[in-house]
């Protein structure tokens, strides 16, 4: 009897360098297309783009009237600006995930990622669950992090989808720091989690963490991958954007927790890995055989309680 062929998925993380406030969507999409063509040359079937790929990271600026930032949001996806990316990806037979600011018909604002299959069909939208930062202008900060002003917390949780020959999930930036993010998807058998991020190096509430940004980034994604037996694709919008230095260090992480591809620049850069989705089972069916070893009755506090008991 011959062994079944492993399910291989060649995946690219399309790191972006900075996007200026005045850059048009068309200019950004040109850069996305360039990365897509590099991905095609590398044999990718799936490309992950960062969080809020289409614009500068606008939550760094306060507006009294939130509608003052409406031009940073997309009301449709695809739309006229992104249609060339959707068309070219379909022509090349490459799927992708793309983060953007979503403004819904009924006025809700989400930090969203769309997942598109190789045939151009939309698999799903994921809306960011953990919204970091603050709601109001805080003049003591060097720059603002007003995600909590400009985005609602999603109440749709962390679903996974059968796509790309495996089981795929998504998370966005701050979500990657929370173990629950990975575990909720791990309990649904996730095999690859796509995570876009914009992480300023300077963390105003506690600058002693600044030097650890790169370490923490890899720490949380590597732990999430290993403890759930899943691939993790972490993709940054990095570099100095409108005077704010953001972490690059995009990485593709195997179910072993090992980094198998890592960006070396803080600009537009594609990194690629041949992901063996069947490698996940080596962890899911042994050390992390959830059905055999987990003790959910011991973990009830995790869903019953939000903050630390005093
Ligand atoms: N985009 C995003 O979620 N960034 C946060 C910054 C820290 S909170 C101010 C992050 O967790 O990387």
Atom of ligand 1 nearest to the CA of 177: 11
Task: Give me the pLDDT at residue 1, please.
Answer: 62
pLDDT tens digits, one per residue of 19-50: 999 999 999 999 999 999 999 999 999 999 99
pLDDT band for position 229 (cuts 50, 70, 90): very high
Does any domain span residue 309? Answer: no
Pairing, β 46-48 against β 95-103:
parallel
9, 45 contact by CB (below 8 A): yes
Does any domain span residue 1? Answer: no
Does any domain span residue 3? Answer: no
CA-nearest residue, atom 1 of ligand 1: 198
pLDDT at 152 over 80: yes
CA of 173 to the centre of ligand 1 (A): 6
Does any domain span residue 242? Answer: yes
CA-nearest residue, atom 3 of ligand 1: 174
93, 46 contact by CB (below 8 A): no
161, 123 contact by CB (below 8 A): yes
pLDDT at 80 over 80: yes
Long-range contacts of 302-306 (CB under 8 A, 24+ apart): 302/180
pLDDT at 153 over 90: yes
Tell me the mean pLDDT in the region 209-215.
Answer: 98
pLDDT tens digits, one per residue of 253-299: 999 999 999 999 999 999 999 999 999 999 999 999 999 999 999 99
Alpha-carbon span 97 to 170, nearest angstrom: 9
How many domains is the chain partitioned into structurally? 1
Does any domain span residue 118? Answer: yes
Task: Give me the pLDDT at residue 205, please.
Answer: 98
pLDDT at 170 over 80: yes
CA of 218 to the centre of ligand 1 (A): 14
Give residue 141's domain range. 8-304
Q: Is 128 a catalytic residue?
A: yes
DSSP strands (E only) in 50-127 = 95-103, 109-116, 122-127
Task: Give me the pLDDT at residue 148, please.
Answer: 98
Does any domain span residue 195? Answer: yes
12, 47 contact by CB (below 8 A): yes
CATH number of the domain to which 188 belongs:
3.60.110.10
Does any domain span residue 201? Answer: yes
CA of 155 to the centre of ligand 1 (A): 19
CA of 163 to the centre of ligand 1 (A): 28
pLDDT at 105 over 70: yes
Atom of ligand 1 nearest to the CA of 52: 1
Does any domain span residue 93? Answer: yes
Q: Is 44 a catalytic residue?
A: no
Task: Give me the pLDDT at residue 2, please.
Answer: 72
Question: Which residues contact ligand 1 via a Cβ below 6 A?
Answer: 51, 132-133, 145, 173-174, 177, 197-199
Task: Give me the pLDDT at residue 200, please.
Answer: 98
75, 105 contact by CB (below 8 A): yes
Three-class SS of 50-91: CCCCCCCCHHHCCCCCHHHHHHHCECCCCCCCCHHHHHHHHH
């Amino acid at each position: 009897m011959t062994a079944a062929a492993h399910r291989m998925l060649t995946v690219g993380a399309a790191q972006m360098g900075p996007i200026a406030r005045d850059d048009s969507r068309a200019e950004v999409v040109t850069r996305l297309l360039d990365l897509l063509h590099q991905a095609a040359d590398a044999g990718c079937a799936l490309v992950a783009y960062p969080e809020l790929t289409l614009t500068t990271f606008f939550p760094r600026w306060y507006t009294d009237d939130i509608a003052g930032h409406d031009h940073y949001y997309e009301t449709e996806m695809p739309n006229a600006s992104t249609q060339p990316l959707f068309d070219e990806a379909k022509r090349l037979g490459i799927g992708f995930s793309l983060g953007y600011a979503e403004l819904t018909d009924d006025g809700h604002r989400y930090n969203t990622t769309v997942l598109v299959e190789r045939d151009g069909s939309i698999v799903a939208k994921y809306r960011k669950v953990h919204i970091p930062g603050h709601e109001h202008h805080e003049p003591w900060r060097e720059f603002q992090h007003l995600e909590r002003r400009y985005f609602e917390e999603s109440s749709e949780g962390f679903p996974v989808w059968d796509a790309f020959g495996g089981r795929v999930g998504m998370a966005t930036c701050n979500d990657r720091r929370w173990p629950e993010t990975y575990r909720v998807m791990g309990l649904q058998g996730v095999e690859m989690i796509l995570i876009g991020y914009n992480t300023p190096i300077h963390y105003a509430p506690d600058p002693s963490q600044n030097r650890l940004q790169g370490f923490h980034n890899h720490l949380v994604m590597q732990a999430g991958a290993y403890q759930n037996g899943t691939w993790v694709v972490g993709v940054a919008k990095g570099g100095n954007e409108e005077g704010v230095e953001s972490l690059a260090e995009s990485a593709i992480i195997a179910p072993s927790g090992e980094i198998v591809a890592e960006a070396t620049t803080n600009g537009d850069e594609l990194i690629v890995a041949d992901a063996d989705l069947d490698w996940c089972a080596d962890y899911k069916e042994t050390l992390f055989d959830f059905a055999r070893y987990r003790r959910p009755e011991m973990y009830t506090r995790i869903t019953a309680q939000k903050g630390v008991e005093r």
